[in-house]
């Protein structure tokens, strides 16, 4: 720009002055334009700054953060972007009921005022759909002044119906600080609207993410639980008690470390886990049925008490008192309709208890019931095992249980080790043939096969081979048993070597005795023969002498006396022989011909007394009767002999009536005579050895003794009835020995 030259005089001052003014005007105009340009640039700069900050907010808001942090970010961004003194945001969610408020550091809107403020803001927009942002300077009467003394304020309320979100946003300057801040101007409204939409979008997004995350978390918790359950159940051992402990541990874990207590009924027995509440619970387990009594008399399976009150636990002063105020959650443990205990949880006070949790502890208590049942079964099994082990091991009999196909030994007891001298381990590697001598293998295998087939139950005196090679004898009783689906044979061995030896010795002794008996018998015969020979010679000679010449009657009487004495001695010898024979000889069982035998005996003995005697015989026996003929004959000879010898000299002729009757397995032989008879004082002694009833008798005192001995040997009896001077009746009863 050039000014007119001053040395040129022909310049018109007026013209110059006018030009200057014009120039001045133009400069001013230019300057205004320039100012306007600067303003415009500044405004653009600020707009840019606003959007850049909004951009910043957007990117920061995408980061994961809690609602409180987000709200704080919103307020900080709001202050930053809109250059206000303070900001307020309130996010309300329909379903989550989350109210989040943030304001400026060092400055707090009172809690009670927040809801009021939020309501005020949202009310402004409830019926003014066209307006998005309100910006104004509230006067003294404005309702907003009740919350806070704003000098100027800008606010909005945005909603997202689908997400159920309502967000109120406010920025403002207080009356105190109005000099330091530009008042909030309308030109901010557009940006504020954009910002509020962004906050809403961010929050909607965050809510959705949150929901997804919650679902995901729920899933992972569920998975965690399931894996915990699986781990616990997979880790089960044979010991039910340790499994119960595992279940209780698991229960505590699933309830986030709540104290879990398994209390068994009627027993001061607690299984505990978890650490919430009284950690020394296990040491205080003096109470019984504490949790059980909380259930009362009802039959409910589960019980939820949101808060344990003192009156609930005062009836049972026990470890329960350590949980006063906590939430109680219990499930009864039952099997076979009988409650055997309680699984209970104590956890921080909590009103709501989801059904799924109740379901879970019901399952856990069922698992405990299963373990308890198994424990009973295990104990019962152990009991019966113990019982059988005691019988098996304590038996004095040796017991071997062997395979029925390989004959390999499966079980052996202690007694059998002692019997055979092998150790248990040695025996378990052996089989049947190894414990018997080789020469009886066929016999043993035959016997054992019969046993397995059920054809025999025992085998007697089986030779058995000890480890040291010696042999003993055993009676073996067998039993085929089924163990675990396998057919086995149990053999019960009794060592009978001693019995066998004893019997062997007895048999040998017996045969020795028999030999001695036979020798003795021969001896008795020989002696009797040798004794009788000279007697019979005397007898014969006396008779011969009598025939040689006539003697004086007196001499003849002497000869008779000699003969009588000789006969008596001969009788004695014969009777001793009979006695010996009865005592010593075996009983021969042969059919008895009573009629023939009695007739023969009578014919033999009737000569021994000079006077005649009449014998009547009646036999009523059908079928054969068995006894020992020699003994019966001796018996009859003695009784009939007595009737012949002791006849009564009287008017009536002597008689002997013999009747034989058979009934059942007995024969009764009755001998009735009319002889001298026997005095009552003698009756109970006549069967005694060497007892003689009469001084005049020619008897030896052995005859009836032998009779009694014979009937004893033949399983019979002999009785007598007699009246002196009338006669005697002897009744013999004999058993049919067939």
Partner 1 sequence: MRKFMLIDDDEIFNFLNQRILELSGTAGKIQVFTAARKALNWLSDNLANDEEWPEIILLDIRMPGMDGFEFLEQFRLFPDAKIKGVKVFMLTSSIDERDKNKSAAYPFVYGYYSKPMSPEILREMDEMPLKEF
Binding residues vs partner 1 (CB under 8 A) = 525-526, 528-529, 532-533, 536-537, 539-541, 543-544, 547, 574, 577, 630
Q: Determine the Cα angle at 392 with ends 391 and 394, to 5°.
A: 65
Would you state the structure tokens that stand for residue 49, as one six-digit string? 């700054």
- Count of CB atoms situated within 10 Å of the CB of 393: 11
3 state DSSP class of 524 = helix
Q: Which of 261, 632 has the CB closer to partner 1?
A: 632
Residue 695's φ and ψ, nearest 5 degrees, are -70, -30
Strands 614-620 and 655-663: parallel
Q: Which of 99, 567 has the CB closer to partner 1?
A: 567
**HEC string for 603-645:** HHHHHHCCCCCEEEEEEECCCCCEECHHHHHHHHHHHHHHHHH
Would you state the structure tokens that stand for residue 560, as one six-digit string? 């008779």
Nearest to 414 by CA among 429, 435, 399: 399
3 state DSSP class of 581 = helix
The secondary structure of 411-458 as a DSSP string is EE-HHHHHHH---HHHHHT-BGGGGS-GGGHHHHHHHHHHHHTTS-SE
d(C-alpha 539, C-alpha 544), whole Å:
9
3 state DSSP class of 155 = strand
Length of the chain: 738
Would you state the structure tokens that stand for residue 618, as one six-digit string? 């009646």
Residue 380's φ and ψ, nearest 5 degrees, are -60, -40
Instruction: Give yes or no for a contact between 71 and 79, defined as CB atoms under 8 angstroms apart.
Output: no
Would you state the structure tokens that stand for residue 479, as one six-digit string? 């039993």
Nearest 10 degrees: CA dihedral of 251, 252, 255, 257?
-170
Q: Which residues pair with 303 in a beta bridge?
A: 330
**Considering the complex, what minimum distance in angstroms separates the CB of residue 706 from partner 1?**
14
C-alpha distances (whole Å) from 115 to each of 102, 104, 404, 736 are 12, 17, 92, 128
Of the CA atoms within 13 Å of residue 338, those in its CB half-sphere come to 8
Instruction: Give yes or no for a contact between 344 and 329, defined as CB atoms under 8 angstroms apart.
Output: yes
Residue holding tokens 């015969």? 525
Q: What is the DSSP letter of 652?
A: S
3 state DSSP class of 667 = strand
Q: Which of 339, 585 has the CB closer to partner 1?
A: 585
Would you state the structure tokens that stand for residue 356, as one six-digit string? 């799924």
Q: What is the DSSP letter of 353?
A: -
Residues 6+ apart with CB under 8 A from 498: none
Q: Where are the beta strands (DSSP E) in 122-193?
A: 134-136, 150-160, 165-174
Buried b (16+ CB within 10 A) or exposed e, 191-222: bbbbbbebbbebbbebbeebeeeeeeeeeeee
C-alpha distances (whole Å) from 490 to each of 81, 403, 452, 459, 474 are 100, 9, 10, 13, 15
**Considering the complex, what minimum distance in angstroms separates the CB of residue 559 from partner 1?**
14
Q: Determine the Cα angle at 44 with ends 43 and 45, to 5°.
A: 90
Handedness of CA 618, 624, 627, 628 (dihedral sign): positive
**Considering the complex, what minimum distance in angstroms separates the CB of residue 446 from partner 1?**
45
Helix (H) / strand (E) element for 673: namely strand 666-673
Q: Which residues pair with 736 in a beta bridge?
A: none
């Amino acid at each position: 720009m050039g000014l007119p030259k001053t040395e040129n005089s022909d310049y018109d001052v007026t013209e110059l002055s006018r030009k200057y003014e014009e120039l001045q005007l133009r400069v001013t105009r230019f300057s205004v334009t320039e100012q306007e340009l600067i303003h415009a640039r500044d405004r653009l700069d600020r707009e840019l700054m606003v959007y850049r900050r909004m951009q910043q907010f957007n990117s920061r808001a995408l980061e994961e953060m809690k609602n409180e942090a987000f709200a704080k970010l919103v307020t900080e961004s709001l202050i930053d972007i809109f250059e206000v003194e303070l900001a307020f945001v309130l996010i309300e969610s329909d379903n989550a009921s989350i109210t989040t408020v943030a304001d400026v550091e060092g400055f707090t809107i009172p809690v009670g005022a927040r809801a009021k403020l939020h309501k005020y803001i949202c009310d402004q927009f409830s019926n003014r759909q066209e307006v998005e942002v309100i910006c104004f300077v509230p006067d003294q009467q404005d309702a907003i002044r009740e919350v806070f003394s704003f000098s100027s304020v800008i606010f909005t309320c945005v909603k997202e119906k689908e997400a159920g979100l309502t967000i109120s946003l406010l920025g403002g300057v207080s009356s105190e600080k109005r000099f330091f801040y530009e008042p909030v101007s309308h030109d901010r409204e557009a940006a504020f609207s954009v910002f509020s939409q962004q906050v809403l979008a961010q929050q909607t997004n965050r809510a959705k993410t949150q929901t997804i995350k919650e679902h995901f978390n729920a899933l992972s918790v569920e998975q965690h639980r399931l894996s915990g359950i699986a781990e616990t159940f997979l880790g089960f051992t044979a010991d039910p008690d340790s499994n119960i402990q595992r279940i209780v541990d698991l229960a505590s874990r699933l309830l986030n470390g709540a104290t879990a207590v398994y209390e068994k009924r009627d027993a001061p027995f607690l299984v505990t886990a978890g650490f919430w509440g009284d950690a020394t619970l296990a040491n205080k387990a003096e109470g019984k049925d504490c949790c059980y009594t909380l259930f009362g008399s009802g039959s409910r399976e589960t019980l939820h008490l949101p808060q344990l009150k003192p009156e609930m636990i005062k009836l049972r002063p026990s470890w329960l008192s350590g949980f006063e105020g906590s939430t109680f959650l219990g499930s009864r443990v039952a099997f076979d309709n009988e409650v055997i205990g309680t699984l209970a949880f104590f956890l921080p006070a909590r009103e709501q208890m989801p059904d799924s949790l109740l379901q879970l502890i019901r399952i856990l208590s069922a698992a405990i019931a299963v373990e308890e049942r198994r424990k009973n079964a295990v104990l019962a099994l152990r009991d019966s095992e113990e019982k059988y082990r005691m019988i098996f091991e304590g038996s004095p009999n040796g017991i071997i249980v062997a395979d029925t196909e390989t004959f390999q030994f499966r079980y052996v007891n202690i007694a059998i080790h002692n019997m055979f001298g092998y150790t248990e381990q040695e025996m378990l590697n052996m089989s049947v043939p190894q414990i018997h001598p080789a020469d009886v293998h066929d016999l043993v295998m035959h016997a054992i096969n019969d046993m397995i087939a059920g054809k025999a139950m025992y085998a007697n005196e089986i030779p058995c081979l000890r480890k040291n090679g010696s042999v003993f004898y055993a009676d073996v009783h067998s039993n085929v048993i089924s163990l675990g689906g396998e057919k086995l044979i149990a053999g019960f061995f009794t060592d009978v070597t001693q019995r066998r030896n004893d019997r062997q010795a007895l048999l040998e002794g017996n045969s020795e005795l028999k030999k001695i008996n036979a020798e003795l018998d021969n001896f008795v015969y020989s002696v009797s023969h040798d004794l009788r020979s000279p007697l019979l010679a005397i007898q014969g000679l006396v008779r011969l002498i009598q025939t040689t010449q006539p003697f004086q009657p007196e001499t003849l009487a002497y000869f008779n006396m000699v003969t009588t004495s000789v006969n008596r001695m001969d009788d004695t010898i014969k009777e001793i022989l009979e006695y010996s024979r009865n005592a010593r000889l075996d009983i021969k069982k042969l059919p008895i011909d009573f009629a023939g035998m009695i007739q023969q005996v009578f014919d033999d003995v009737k000569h021994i007394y000079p006077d005649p005697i009449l014998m009547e015989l009646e036999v009523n026996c059908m079928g054969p009767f068995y006894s020992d003929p020699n003994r019966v004959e001796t018996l009859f000879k003695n009784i009939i002999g007595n009737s012949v010898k002791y006849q009564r000299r009287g008017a009536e002729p002597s008689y002997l009536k013999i009747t034989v009757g058979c009934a059942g397995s007995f024969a009764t032989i009755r001998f009735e005579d009319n002889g001298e008879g026997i005095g009552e004082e003698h009756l109970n002694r006549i069967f005694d050895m060497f007892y003689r009833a009469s001084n005049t008798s020619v008897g030896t005192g052995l005859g009836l003794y032998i009779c009694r001995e014979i009937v004893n040997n033949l399983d019979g009896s002999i009785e007598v009835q007699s009246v002196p001077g009338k006669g005697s009746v002897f009744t013999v009863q004999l058993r049919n020995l067939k």
